[in-house]
């Protein structure tokens, strides 16, 4: 028998490494647990580093109350957009010029599409190749770019090019550049404010460094068992890995114990 939570919570879920990887469908266990949590009067949100143009149906079919995308550059509740920050045309032009010259791979993540610059051979993704800013604006007029994924080790030259327009999130084998000031925690807080909910009423699930601030900011941060060590260290709880339905494991514990009992046990593992 499940225990009711003392008051509604808002849960925020990373996608890659938390619900699935490589565009795979989420597990049935995770899907059912998120839907059960929502059916008890709680809110559920996808909070992903991916831009809108990189989301896919089997994740969205879980049924969320809203989406935070582009690592906080975009947020909506239902179909109402409450925050949107895109890159300026000057910044996009500068980025395209730099990566077309350097040859390193950069993915321009848009609200309706994905585009790649650099690496003239052996491109890993089936997305349009962009070789100049003029080509980009001619072929895709009005396309809003939310963030960048960069497959190169950031150095001083790259950082100088990005300048004050971007915040850089570094991973082991790539980096993400998001509009300056945007983050998953910022997007989460915007959603909570719009819902008239407190930060203490939030739960966040994640695994990578772009989840670090969200995990720290949430009322309770839950790291996946496959999370990087820094995220595990920042979390209040560590659940099972994504491929063992760690989200479902933690959510059912919350629903079975009630939030007061679960939150009192910060630091434990399922």
Residues 130 and 238 in one domain: no
Q: Does 257 map to a domain? A: yes
* Residues 168 and 192 placed together within one structural domain of the fold: no
Q: Write down which residue in 121, 156, 179 finishes a domain.
A: 179
Which residue among 127, 159, 179 closes a domain? Answer: 179
What pLDDT does 126 receive? 84
Average pLDDT over residues 92-114: 95
Tell me whether residue 186 is in a domain. yes
In a domain, 5, yes or no: no
- Say if residue 260 is in the same domain as residue 188: yes
> Residue 147: in which H helix or E strand, if any?
strand 145-151
The answer to whether residues 221 and 259 belong to one domain is yes
Task: Extract the tokens encoding 269.
Answer: 């593992």
pLDDT of residue 250: 95
Confidence of residue 256 (pLDDT cuts 50, 70, 90): confident
pLDDT above 80: residue 68: yes
Q: pLDDT digits over 216-255, tens only?
A: 999 999 999 999 999 999 999 999 999 999 999 999 999 9
In the predicted structure, residue 265 carries a pLDDT above the cut 80: no
In the predicted structure, residue 259 carries a pLDDT above the cut 80: no
86 to each of 51, 69, 145, 223, 241, how far by Cα in Å?
11, 12, 6, 29, 33
pLDDT of residue 173: 87
pLDDT in tens, 70-97: 999 999 999 999 999 999 999 999 999 9
3 falls within a domain: no
- Which whole number is the average pLDDT over 12-17? 98
Task: For residue 132, give the CATH number of its domain.
Answer: 3.30.1240.10
For residues 119-134, give the mean pLDDT.
79
| pLDDT (0 to 100) of residue 120 | 56
Are 172 and 250 in the same domain? no
Contact (CB, 8 A) for 211 and 200: no
As a whole number of angstroms, the distance between CA 107 and CA 148 comes to 6
pLDDT, one tens digit per residue, over 151-209 is: 988 999 999 999 999 999 999 889 999 999 999 999 999 999 999 999 999 999 999 99
Domain that holds residue 115: 89-179
Domain endpoint, select from 153, 179, 205 = 179
DSSP 8-state assignment for residue 8: -
Is 68 in the same domain as 41? yes
Asked whether residue 24 falls in the same domain as residue 78, the answer is yes
Q: What is the chain's mean pLDDT, rounded? A: 92
Pair 70, 115 in one domain: no
Q: Into how many domains does the chain fold?
A: 2
Statement to judge: residues 151 and 125 lie in one domain: yes
Tell whether 207 is covered by a domain. Answer: yes
At 269 the pLDDT is 39
Domain assignment present for 198: yes
User: Does the residue 169 lie in any domain?
Assistant: yes
Same domain, 194 and 258: yes
Give the integer Cα–Cα distance in Å for 230 and 219.
18
- Residue 165 to residue 30: CA distance in whole angstroms: 37
Instruction: Please tell me whether residues 96 and 212 are part of one structural domain.
Output: no
Q: What is the CATH number of the domain that holds 15?
A: 3.40.50.1000
Percent of the chain topping pLDDT 70: 91
How far is Cα 78 from Cα 91, in angstroms, rounded to an integer? 30
Residues 79 and 200 in one domain: yes
The answer to the question of residue 269 being in a domain is no
**Structure-token pair, residue 11:** 């849960």
């Amino acid at each position: 028998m499940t225990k009711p939570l003392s008051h509604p919570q808002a849960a925020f879920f990373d996608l890659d490494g938390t619900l699935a990887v490589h565009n795979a469908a989420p597990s049935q266990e995770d899907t059912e647990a998120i839907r059960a949590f929502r059916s008890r009067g709680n809110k559920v949100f996808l909070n992903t580093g991916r831009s809108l143009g990189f989301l896919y149906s089997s994740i969205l079919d879980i049924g969320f109350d809203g989406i935070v995308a582009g690592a906080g550059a975009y947020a909506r509740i239902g179909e109402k957009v409450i925050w949107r920050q895109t890159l300026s045309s000057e910044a996009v032009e500068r980025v395209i010029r730099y990566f077309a010259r350097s040859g390193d791979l950069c993915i321009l993540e848009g609200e309706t599409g994905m585009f790649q610059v650099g690496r003239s051979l052996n491109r890993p993704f089936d997305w349009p190749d962009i070789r100049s800013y003029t080509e980009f604006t001619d072929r895709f007029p009005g396309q809003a770019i939310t963030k960048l994924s960069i497959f190169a080790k950031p150095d001083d030259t790259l950082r100088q090019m990005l300048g004050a327009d971007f915040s850089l999130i570094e991973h082991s084998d790539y980096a993400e550049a998001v509009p300056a000031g945007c983050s998953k925690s910022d997007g989460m807080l915007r959603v909570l404010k719009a819902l008239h909910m407190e930060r203490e009423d939030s739960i966040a699930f994640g695994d990578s460094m772009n989840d670090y601030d969200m995990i720290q900011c949430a009322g309770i941060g839950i790291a996946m068992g496959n999370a990087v060590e820094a995220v595990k260290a920042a979390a209040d709880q560590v659940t099972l890995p994504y491929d063992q339905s760690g989200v479902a494991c933690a959510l059912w514990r919350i629903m079975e114990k009630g939030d007061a009992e679960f939150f009192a046990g910060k630091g434990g593992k399922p």
